Amino acid sequence: MAFFINDDCINCGACEPECPTEAITQGDTKYVIDPDKCIDCGACNGVCPVEAPNPAE
């Protein structure tokens, strides 16, 4: 299951370079994760200052 970025995202961009599959891109108000590219590694969550990326339920 892919990760998703919740509304706590502060649009800082820390997560984007950490993604090994380039699944994270900047959206209008927050970063977004392409679920088709996400490999559920959690690298994005480890660098996020507000823990916005979370596993999809």
Could you please report the per-residue DSSP string of 19-37? -TT--EEE-SSSEEE-TTT
Residues 6+ apart with CB under 8 A from 22: 37
CA–CA separation, 37 and 57 (whole Å): 17
For residue 53, the surrounding DSSP H or E stretch is strand 53-55
Q: What's the pLDDT score for residue 13?
A: 96
Return the pLDDT at 33. 97
Which one, of 7, 9, 22, lies nearest residue 50 by Cα? 9
- List, for the chain, all residue ranges whose pLDDT scores fall below the cut of 50: none
- Flag whether the pTM goes above 0.95: no
Domains and CATH numbers, the chain: 3-55 (3.30.70.20)
Cβ-contact 14, 50 below 8 angstroms: no
